[in-house]
A and B are shown apart, each in its own frame.
Chain A
Amino acid sequence: MTDSDQHPYVEWIAREAQRPVVTDQAARERIMMAVRSEPVPVRRSRVWARVFEPRSFRLSPVGTTLLAAGLVGIGVIAGKVVNNRDVRPPGGEPSVSVAVQPRLPVSSAVVDTVVKFVFVAPQASKVSVVGDFNGWNATTTPMVRTPNSAVWTVTLPLTTGRHVYSFVVDGSSWIADPAAPLAPDDGFGHASSVRIVGRGSAL
């Protein structure tokens, strides 16, 4: 490739680049004064540079995976924090105890007694026990059917004291324990039963 083959713009750029630069002496002085008036840049420490200076990283796939796992962990923790956040509006009354946890199986009594619940339901395909000891969660405490019988049982450690409970048959029918005292109507149209645990109780 020769010069004559070059594009006119390229030739023009080459000419301009080769042209000597003539600067005014006064202008040079002004520039130099401006430069001298600038404060001397402070040399930052290595720590500063290490922490704050931008830098680029190169991560291996394994490193990326570990980083992602760490971020997932942070996300899990953040999720739990968000989950347990109080919902009351800001500026409300300060609460003595924030109602974020179910506040459930917190009993002053800590002594556990093993209690066996027995329920006879020949036609049932699924029976569970719900009560204040499991947050009324119908999936937490399923009962087990004794082979070749209609008897469903489950054994639970319960804290000493009074417990209200009910049986849930086939996920929809709530039935009070016929062998236990009734609790008053709960306001939801169903009766529950009462079990007193410990203290030599007859219940």
Chain B
Amino acid sequence: MIQLPTPVRFRAGRRVGNSVLAVALCLLSARIATTQEPDPLLKLDPSSRFAVDLMLDSATAEHLPTRPLSSRALEGITRKADGKRIVDAVRKELGYLRTARAVLGGVPDDELSAAAAVVEAGAKPAQLAAFRTRHKDRNDLAAFTYWADLITRGVPAEDASSAITKLWQDGADDATFYSLWKSVQSDILQGLNPGAALQNRIRETPGRAPSSKAPPDGPQESQSQ
């Protein structure tokens, strides 16, 4: 049996040990880096993620906002929905955005998202088109948002659409929409039929409300009970 001198064996062993340690550290750190800041969409199974990626790319190519789509996917992931359901939800959202774009044309992303929510709630594209009259100095985010809310709460889409469109065309501001929504919501919570609640309150709502009702910019507060 060949006996090597002890120092040689020690050096060789240490060198191999260091190399193995270095490679192990490298692999371990790569693994840690992968798990530290994961792309949330990586939680989707590969086929679902591929489908979501395709839709995001389609939206980009069509100049549609991708934020609502990725938001919907992430929401589904957080809610532990399965991949197929998430893909369906993102696909529907993309469809609503396309419809809104087809009706409204080039509007800012937020307005497009809000209009898509109106379609998603149940309004027909024709009703969105009837609302379409645009005023460059007015922002229709609030109108779209309350419109979608009213339909979601059970107000018939046709009633909600005609009421909101009428108010908008009469020049109602955000505070007027807010006041109407607050009143209708209160009535619904007290048990009134949603459609009837809107019809009752719309009669009391002036076409033009004083703009002083709108709260100033700055910290906004939501009080929920």
Answer yes or no: are A and B bound together in one complex: yes
- Listed in ascending order, the chain A residues whose CB lies under 8 Å from chain B are 59, 64, 67-68, 71-80, 82-84, 86-89, 93, 95-97, 99-104, 106-109, 113-120, 130, 132, 135-138, 155, 161-162, 164, 167, 174, 177-188, 190-192, 194-203
Cα of A86 to Cα of B50 in the assembled complex, Å: 9
Listed A/B pairs (13) with beta-carbon separation below 8 Å: A59-B18, A83-B34, A88-B53, A116-B220, A117-B222, A120-B224, A132-B67, A162-B114, A182-B153, A184-B120, A194-B114, A201-B142, A202-B213
Residue among A104, A116, A190 making CB contact with B222, cutoff 8 Å: A116
With A99-B56, A195-B222 given, is the CB distance from A201 to B152 under 8 Å?
Answer: no
Which chain A residues border B223 with CB–CB below 8 Å? 118, 120, 179
Contact B74 A136 (CB under 8 A): yes
- Listed in ascending order, the chain B residues whose CB lies under 8 Å from chain A are 18, 21-22, 25-34, 37-42, 46, 49-50, 52-54, 56-57, 60-61, 66-68, 70-72, 74-79, 81, 85, 88-89, 92, 108-110, 113-114, 117, 120-122, 139, 141-142, 145-146, 148-149, 151-153, 174-175, 177-178, 181, 213-225
Which chain A residues border B42 with CB–CB below 8 Å? 83
Specify the chain B residue showing the minimal Cβ separation from A197: B220
Which chain A residues border B54 with CB–CB below 8 Å? 93
Cα of A177 to Cα of B121 in the assembled complex, Å: 18
Residue of A137, A161, A182, A199 with highest tally of chain B CB at under 10 A: A182
4 residue pairs, one from A and one from B, having the closest CB atoms: A79-B33, A187-B89, A75-B29, A181-B149
Q: How many A-B residue pairs have CB under 8 A?
A: 239
Contact B30 A76 (CB under 8 A): yes
Residue among A107, A120, A137, A186 making CB contact with B225, cutoff 8 Å: A120
With contacts A97-B60, A162-B110 known, what are 16 further pairs, Cβ within 8 A?
Answer: A68-B22, A75-B29, A79-B32, A79-B34, A97-B66, A102-B74, A113-B219, A116-B222, A136-B79, A137-B78, A162-B145, A179-B223, A186-B76, A188-B76, A200-B174, A202-B174
